[in-house]
Amino acid sequence: MSTQRSGGQRTYADAIEALNTLQSNAATIEAIRKSGGRLNDFAIPEMVEYLGRIGYTQEDLNRLNVIHITGTKGKGSTSAFTSSLLQHASPGAKIGLYTSPHMIAVRERIRINGSPLDEADFADKFWHVWDALEQNTARAHEFTPLRPIYFRFLTLLAFHTFLAHKVDTAILEVGIGGMYDSTNIVPRPVVCGITALGMDHVAMLGNTIELIAAQKAGIYKHGSAALAVRQLLGRESAEKVLEDRAKEVGASSFHFVRTPAGEDPISSVKLGLPGIHQYSNASLALALAQTFVRSPVGKQVFAGAEESLGPLILEGGDEAAAVQQITPLAKQALEAAHWPGRCQRIPSQTSAITYFLDGAHTTDSLALCARWFLSSSSSSAAEQGKKRRRVFIFNCTNGRSGPDLLGSVLSEIEAGSSTSTSDSSSSSSPSSRFATAARFFTDVAFCTNTTFRSGRSAGDLTSKAVDPADLEALTIQNQLKDAWLSLVGSGDDEAAKVHVLPSIEDALLLVKEGNGAEETQVLVSGSLHLVGGVMAHLREEGLLDDELRSVYA
């Protein structure tokens, strides 16, 4: 693709247009899936080669003082908590943060001190990397593209940005897996952490928890500290894989982070990210930050931070003593953390609509999402005699199991609402495993991630990952509808009305149609891309600020 732009301009919009040409289409993604991971053999060597072509060596990346984070669930939240902790520990330090995906704007993926790059800085750094790859074309293999695919390019861009800004530390969130991820070319990260594991991306990572654990543990490095939370799924076998890998590569230390219990001081903190599951992520983040500031480089940049962040929360070794308190600074940092689109409540001032957004996309995380929604949406509407309307907007990416994902939501709602939603069932419920859950929502909408009714998506939200034919036929959405109906049954006039819709805009119009409800609660989940598209609309309506925080919360 030519680097020239009409009128000689090379704006942020031009950069996004160029970046989108690097997206893998649905056919390419399917080829990778069917390869059983064979294409991974070239992932790391190619990334190292690309890095060299933009003027850097792997040794240069060690100057970033990296904190590397992976896991199935909570790695983005853990990254956000870690960034907040280090910002509070040393306000004068420069903290880089690289995460994925973005909610509305691509530049959200690359942050410094919690704030996304502005458009001018993003465009400047983007075109530097774009041009360098075009000017330095030497490649070891003829099948290596001139430029890497979307996520790998953004990883290169993050490396260049952080080195150019001379950050004091860079927090890197893995995209998928760990061992073959494009972020995994840093020779000596300071500390690596692994969040909760689950069954996700099995076509690429393996179909057992042990295989997935091995992929995640691929980020552990010789001479680097290694941490992991205690695991729930396949605890003994998964934890053994993690610990064995740390020993095998010669990690400087390996510890499990203690799971917060009811009496643990961190459990009393009102985290900036809602949800009971976030306490595990916050504990890992605190341990990562504590480990980092105790490292030789951490002591140089974050002098005095050891005391301000408190004692280590680890299991094993001499540092396993119970934490007696959480420091005021650590408490403040965890309360101030913000991560858009994760258990986020967005009320409206001008209408009686409240949106509940969570990008959960695994069975475990969707169960937690449903539990959070039940807890957060339990207002006094029923007691006040208000007519309440609940809408569930859902989508999932191709390859995920609709019945399993939706079944997870329904199971949690059935268990949590059967004794507390008398307003949802005015007559006897039919015999069904999800009799109460079937009536919990007024409407269920399965829509695509397309932003607008016109069939267009905002530039930053453009995706080529779905087959255009499937998108036009609403194949996935109809499969989800069938899955929902197979779970809740049919013949109940009071069950939720099910809709298949071609865009996010259509789904939000459905929400606003009303039906005389005095209060409307909208749960949006199943895909971070879906949540991001909804947030784009809500920001246009003035319900979100530029940092994607709720204006009226």
How confident is the model over 130-141, as pLDDT tens digits? Answer: 999 999 999 998
pLDDT at 199: 87
**Is 358 annotated as ligand-binding?**
yes
- Maximum CA extent, the chain: 72
| β-bridge pairing 519-525 and 66-70 | unpaired
pLDDT at 331: 97
**Is 181 annotated as ligand-binding?**
no
Cα separation, 94 vs 117, in Å, equals 13
pLDDT averaged per 10 residues, the chain (length 553): 53 96 73 61 94 99 99 96 98 97 97 97 98 96 93 98 99 97 98 94 90 98 97 89 98 92 85 93 96 95 91 62 74 97 93 94 92 82 68 83 94 81 46 86 96 89 82 92 92 91 98 82 96 97 95 89
Pick the CATH number of 66-74+188-339 from 3.10.20.600, 1.10.357.10, 3.30.930.10, 3.40.1190.10: 3.40.1190.10
Secondary structure of residue 462 in the 3-state scheme: coil
Examine domains 66-74+188-339 and 344-540 and report if their fold is the same: no
Cα separation, 109 vs 87, in Å, equals 18
- Please give, one letter per residue, the 3-state secondary structure of 280-315: HHHHHHHHHHHHHHHCHHHHHHCCCHHHHHCCCCEE
Q: Mind giving me the DSSP string for 135-158?
A: H----SSTTS-SS--HHHHHHHHH
Question: Which residues are paired to 497 by β-bridges?
Answer: 443
**Is 100 annotated as ligand-binding?**
yes
Secondary structure of residue 24 in the 3-state scheme: coil
pLDDT at 43: 93
Nearest to 480 by CA among 507, 447, 502: 447
Cα separation, 503 vs 171, in Å, equals 34
Is the pTM higher than 0.85? The answer reads yes
Residues, the chain: 553
Rg (the chain; Cα; Å): 23
pLDDT at 258: 82
In words, the CATH class of domain 344-540 is alpha beta
pLDDT at 427: 45
How confident is the model over 237-258, as pLDDT tens digits? Answer: 999 999 999 999 999 999 999 8
**Is 482 annotated as ligand-binding?**
no
Please report, for the chain, the start and end positions of each structural domain, with discontinuous segments joined by +. 1-64+94-167, 66-74+188-339, 344-540
Question: Which residues are paired to 253 by β-bridges?
Answer: 225
pLDDT at 517: 76
pLDDT at 26: 61
**Is 460 annotated as ligand-binding?**
no
Query: Domain 1-64+94-167 carries which CATH code?
Result: 3.40.1190.10
pLDDT at 234: 77
